[in-house]
Structure 1
Amino acid sequence: MEGRVVLHSDLNNCYASIECMLHPELRGKYIAVCGSTEDRHGIVLAKNQLAKQCGVKTGEVIWEARQKCPQLTIVEPHMDQYLKFSKIVRSIYLRYSPEVESFGIDESWIELTGSPLLQQKTPLEIANEIRTTVKEEVGLTVSIGVSFNKIFAKLGSDMKKPDAVTVITRESFKDQIWRLPVSDLLYVGRATTEKLRLYGIRTIGDLAQADRAMLIRRLGVNGEKLWVFANGLDQSRVMPCDYEIPIKSVGHGITCTADLRTNEEVRHVLMELSQEVGAKLRKSKLAATRIRISIRDNTLSQREYQGKLEFPTQSYTEIAAAGFNLFCRRYPWNADVRSLTISAIDLIPSDTPIQLDLWSDFEKHNKRLTLERTVEDIRHRYGLGMINFAALTTGLKMPAHREVEYKMPSVMYH
């Protein structure tokens, strides 16, 4: 393969494979890693190959999975172990290139362009060497795509599973992928797939041969991006391992232990969630200029609303109040609320100068931030449950064992 060389490596059935490795008694069984049914997170997070062959899918509820696979064994997730093994596998990739970009806990791109290794081995040989090394040293299998850009490398890693390598070249990509469903292309989700279907676009080849101007009119910038992807013209780089990705949003959400039936119950959950959002903003030295709330009701229908903040803030009480105000104004209460997420969006550096107006009480805002920092210091020193709002001490419809993490913010990136 001449020119650029990019690998995409995907840990096969990551969560389930790690559970089977840590617990040999699970091998040979039909495995699904699922959230807690007591906390209403009873959905399939991951499954092994045997369960997949029975039709078990990620994201479906446990009772649906059991209907397809009555012999299914349910395993609780252990995220600390998944993170540990992800780092171990990543360290193997770094032996081959300093440019290793993570794409979730179980996937990474590896840039080999210009590597001295290519003078000794072909990209296929290098990919197979990585695959074998991961299996022998870690006990897990990976599927690897080899191509001339990130999009096709990712597509290649999905084409043969488990424990396989697929090469997609400039000369062969039309024959290999243009007949595949358009939904196989990265960033083409269900909603986009349906939109494209309405325009007669069902395969990647249909997308590649569609009128570019029409796609831009119908889908905006995303339409042009997908056209570029389908035609093999993507030139996005693999970021080096020490690259810090700009944070796009900071949020926290939860599925409640029981449906929320009143505004007051919603307000309490938003107050609790916003405390972690504020802590993450301070950790990242960012401030929010807008907020977004996502609501899923007990029919599993999803709604999302956004609103502007009075001025940029890290204050969780201000974020919670803005989110609650948005909820009261926009949510129609056609059904009770099952889950809530609140996010700080349109972020700016926290030290950005602010243009004040005559009506904003900025002194009160600063006092509130000082109080919140003090509360946070007390929690760091004596524990998260040491100090809290009185309204959140009883009757809160959230899991009692929930964890609030300050050291590693869970964030959304560009």
Structure 2
Amino acid sequence: MDRTILHCDCNGFYASVECAMHPEYKNVPMAVCGDPQNRHGIILAKNELAKKYNVQTAETIWQAKRKCPDLVLAAAHHREYQRYSRMINAIYQRFTDRVEPFSIDESWLDVTGCQNLFGDGKQIADTLRNTIREELGITISAGVSFNKIYAKLGSDYKKPDATTVITRGNYQELLFPLPVSALMYVGRSAREQLDKLYIKTIGDLARSDKRLIAGKLGKVGELIHDYANGIDDSPVASIYEQREIKSVGNGITFRRNLTGIEDIRLGVRALCDTVAGRLRKHGLKCQTLQVTIKDPQFKVITRQRPLPFPTNLSQELIDLSLEIVSSSWRIGAPIRMLAITGSGLIPADQVEEQLSFYTNPDAPARKKQEKLENAMDIIREKYGQGAISFGTVIHNDLGIEKDD
């Protein structure tokens, strides 16, 4: 028996949340954008009225304003978007425990086992659309199909606030005419390779020689050929399955370029403080540290090094990050963006650290640092992320802020 899989995708999610929080936005063309002063001056999301002016996600604010001079701009509130995402997924979980978020505004649901309770796939999708609209003021589009890939194509097929059912009887009619780029994992490089083979649509790919596609694109070619033909048995993860975290990182595009060691120290300190806090929150320590640097001409370098010991302490991440930057970057050369990522993650309670007083003379200082940073976590958990910070970070002119 076929499974019944839903893919639910929130429509213009950031803009929808802003409209839910500020009903006056619903009657005007509006868009959520990054802060131009922080050089994030692009459109992140727009409402349906702005779409009528052809305002596009990822275009610059000035381009959008040329199309729609009366466009109302709203700053992004990422903590609110996370909150709404949790509430939406909680509604999905009223129907099934097999809910797998794909991004902040998309989730797959396996409703195969709950149709006797709530109706068939289309009925469940329509109920979800109505419930989320009524309770949260957010609209979603849903795809219903017999696998995850076709369900996702279904949610993209008709927007906004729509349900599309893709069955074994109609998938060729609905999906084969779509551009091959609509299929998951067909990025620019794969599309260019397929274009050379005169493969323009999903139907072209489905009817092509699988060995030919694999010869050009390797395992990805085999995968997307199967996807085009509706072959996908990947399960929808249960909410009770722990999802593996492979890395923990943070990055900042600064309000102005970093131009010296003091600027770099400030940026590194803020980033490492956040990364270390996230590692502790997840009960993890990292064994490798990666630093990514982007200059004003958008040239990017990435360097990484192993840590002496697995850690989730900001001071140890700061020390190694500064070493990496000093050895990889000409101090004084401007830096537009920094990102710091911890990888090689292991559970903190399983780390067998050889940190006795005999093998590590810094062990007492390390224990003191652990107590300090754990105390900061407690304060932030109780009073908000901005409740305590390093003195050098407060009132900086680089656009470094702690989320409240």
In 2: Cα distance, 1:362 partner to 1:47 partner? 58
In 2: Cα distance, 1:3 partner to 1:325 partner? 55
> What is residue 11 of structure 1 aligned with on the other side?
10
> What is residue 147 of structure 1 aligned with on the other side?
145
C-alpha distance 70-250 of structure 1, shift in aligned 2 (>3 A): same
In 1: Cα distance, 2:228 partner to 2:359 partner? 50
> What is residue 126 of structure 1 aligned with on the other side?
124
SS in 1 for 2:343: strand
> What is residue 237 of structure 1 aligned with on the other side?
235
Contact 2:283 2:347 in 1 (8 A): yes
Unaligned residue ranges in structure 2 (runs of 5+)? 381-385
Query: Does residue 331 of structure 2 align to residue 320 of structure 1?
Result: no
> What is residue 138 of structure 1 aligned with on the other side?
136
Query: Does residue 164 of structure 2 align to residue 166 of structure 1?
Result: yes
In 2: Cα distance, 1:220 partner to 1:321 partner? 41
Contact 2:253 2:338 in 1 (8 A): yes
Aligned partner of 1:308 among 306, 309, 327: 306
**Which structure 2 residues correspond to residues 156-305 of structure 1 after superposition, within 5 A?**
156-194=154-192, 196-197=194-195, 200-213=198-211, 216=214, 219-262=217-260, 264-305=262-303
What are the superposed Cα offsets for residues 148-185 of structure 1, whole Å, 9 maximum, x if unpaired?
A: 11111111101100011111112332332233223222
Amino acid at match of 1:79: H
Amino acid at match of 1:164: A
In 2: Cα distance, 1:249 partner to 1:188 partner? 25
Amino acid at match of 2:37: E
In 2: Cα distance, 1:125 partner to 1:262 partner? 60
What are the superposed Cα offsets for residues 16-61 of structure 1, whole Å, 9 maximum, x if unpaired?
A: 1232233222222111011222333322221112222323222233
Amino acid at match of 1:9: C
C-alpha distance 167-303 of structure 1, shift in aligned 2 (>3 A): farther
> What is residue 22 of structure 1 aligned with on the other side?
21
SS in 2 for 1:103: strand
In 1: Cα distance, 2:98 partner to 2:148 partner? 12
Contact 1:281 1:314 in 2 (8 A): yes
In 2: Cα distance, 1:8 partner to 1:106 partner? 11
Contact 1:299 1:335 in 2 (8 A): no
Amino acid at match of 1:363: N
Unaligned residue ranges in structure 1 (runs of 5+)? 405-414
> What is residue 410 of structure 1 aligned with on the other side?
none
In 2: Cα distance, 1:232 partner to 1:183 partner? 16
Q: CA deviation at 1:259?
A: 1.1
> What is residue 52 of structure 1 aligned with on the other side?
51
What are the superposed Cα offsets for residues 265-295 of structure 1, whole Å, 9 maximum, x if unpaired?
A: 3343123201221122122222222222333
In 2: Cα distance, 1:313 partner to 1:23 partner? 43
Q: CA deviation at 1:344?
A: 0.7
C-alpha distance 200-341 of structure 1, shift in aligned 2 (>3 A): farther
> What is residue 371 of structure 1 aligned with on the other side?
368
Q: CA deviation at 1:248?
A: 1.3
In 1: Cα distance, 2:378 partner to 2:79 partner? 23
What are the superposed Cα offsets for residues 227-279 of structure 1, whole Å, 9 maximum, x if unpaired?
A: 33222221111122233211111011111110123455334312320122112
**Which structure 2 residues correspond to residues 380-391 of structure 1 after superposition, within 5 A?**
380=377, 388=390
Q: Indicate the percent of aligned positions where both proteins have the same amino acid.
A: 38
C-alpha distance 156-296 of structure 1, shift in aligned 2 (>3 A): farther
Amino acid at match of 1:154: K
Contact 1:375 1:387 in 2 (8 A): no
TM-score w.r.t. the length of structure 2 is 0.85
* Worse-superposed segment, 58-67 or 83-92: 83-92
C-alpha distance 343-227 of structure 1, shift in aligned 2 (>3 A): farther
TM-score w.r.t. the length of structure 1 is 0.83
Contact 2:313 2:370 in 1 (8 A): no
> What is residue 112 of structure 2 aligned with on the other side?
113
Contact 2:12 2:45 in 1 (8 A): yes
In 1: Cα distance, 2:366 partner to 2:171 partner? 55
